[in-house]
Amino acid sequence: MYAEGDSEAAFKFNSVQRAHQNLLENLPLLLAVAAAAATAAGPRVAAGLLAVWTLGRVLYFKGYAANG
């Protein structure tokens, strides 16, 4: 699942791979919380919170991929 070696390309690939794996690990909890928020606070609130979370994940992914 990860690139072997000490090259710059392997480092960048592994950084992106780790960021993606982190997203996949957190996704089930996010979906459960989003369903609970939609039920308790309403679908618009849940959609707004998901939009904020998505923006945060994009920024996290870009930062982690760039800096490892």
Say how many CA atoms lie within 13 Å of 20 toward its Cβ.
8
Q: What is the pLDDT of residues 4-47, one digit of tens each?
A: 999 999 999 999 999 999 999 999 999 999 999 999 999 999 99
Hey, what's the torsion of the CAs at 11, 27, 25, 61, to 10 degrees?
A: 20
pTM: 0.81
Tell me how far CA of residue 44 lies from CA of 14, 24, 61, in angstroms: 36, 24, 25
Q: What are the residue boundaries of the structural domains of the chain, listed by start?
A: 8-67
